[in-house]
Amino acid sequence: MRIRVSVVQLDIVLGRADVNRDRVVEFVIEVARRGSKVVVLPELWLTGYAPNIDSLAEDVFKGVTVAILSKIARDYGIYIFGSIPEENSGKIYNSIPLITPRGVAGVYRKIHLFKLMNEHKIFSSGDKVVVLETEFGRIGFAICYDIRFPEMIRSMVFNGIKILITPAEWPCQRIDVWRTLIRSRAIENQIYVLASNRVGKDTNNKYCGNSAIIDPYGDYVVEAGRKEEVILTTDIDLDLVEEARETIPILKDYIPEVYSRVEVVKS
């Protein structure tokens, strides 16, 4: 099965939810007009790491931002994924609302909080891995730092995902690590990775983009540079997932019961 997908790379105006929302609406409508079925936005695209992020957080199921994007999703038959600050039961999460053509199916809340950027002082950690069932296959989600935890991704693969969605705010000083990790997750799991990283800067960091769509063999289908306002759009063939897994049967050769038996020997 072939579907058209898009990844949006953009700068984020710190703390200006109104400005960022208006720009993203324009991008999403453009992506929809291109015929894309899925669009991926960066991490915290609505606010960035704004000092007042807690006051800008929204209820995923009642907030204005998700309501606006949900209408676009219904009108154009598109899936929209990107993280925003979420308020839920008095806690703040870094969350991806699962916006589908039929409404908000659920939410993925970032599990691994990045202490170097003080995320643990702002957000609560999510407590479950989330897989979305769609008409073209299952999709998994990992936000930025999550991508460093391959066991999390593998758990989604064993629950049938063919696509991994990865929004990020990955700084320039570690951009080569970003490129290595998103490619590694594609190779070792034989899945498509749709990765959106912001560009620009905030009070503490500069961000260098390199958003990408990577196929199940680990090849770059398309990659952005470091410019803002880039939309990557391409057709992907989901049958390539099974082809890759038959060619190199990593998952069939997986032996988890052995990995827990570690013998430490003295030299």
Question: Which residues are catalytically annotated?
Answer: 43, 110, 144
User: How many angstroms separate the CA atoms of 123 and 41, rounded?
Assistant: 20
Residue 189: how many other CB atoms lie within 10 Å: 25
Name the β-bridge partners of 236: 3
- Beta pairing class for 103-109 and 137-141: unpaired
Sign of the alpha-carbon dihedral angle for 25, 30, 35, 36? negative
24, two tokens: 């993203």
Helix (H) or strand (E) holding 214: strand 212-214
CA-to-CA separations, 221 to 17, 193, 194, in angstroms, rounded:
32, 10, 10
In 3D space, the residue among 74, 58, 55 whose CA is nearest the CA of residue 21 turns out to be: 58
Residue 104: how many other CB atoms lie within 10 Å: 17
- Answer for the pair 213, 9: CB distance below 8 angstroms, yes or no: no
Name the β-bridge partners of 128: none
2, two tokens: 């072939």
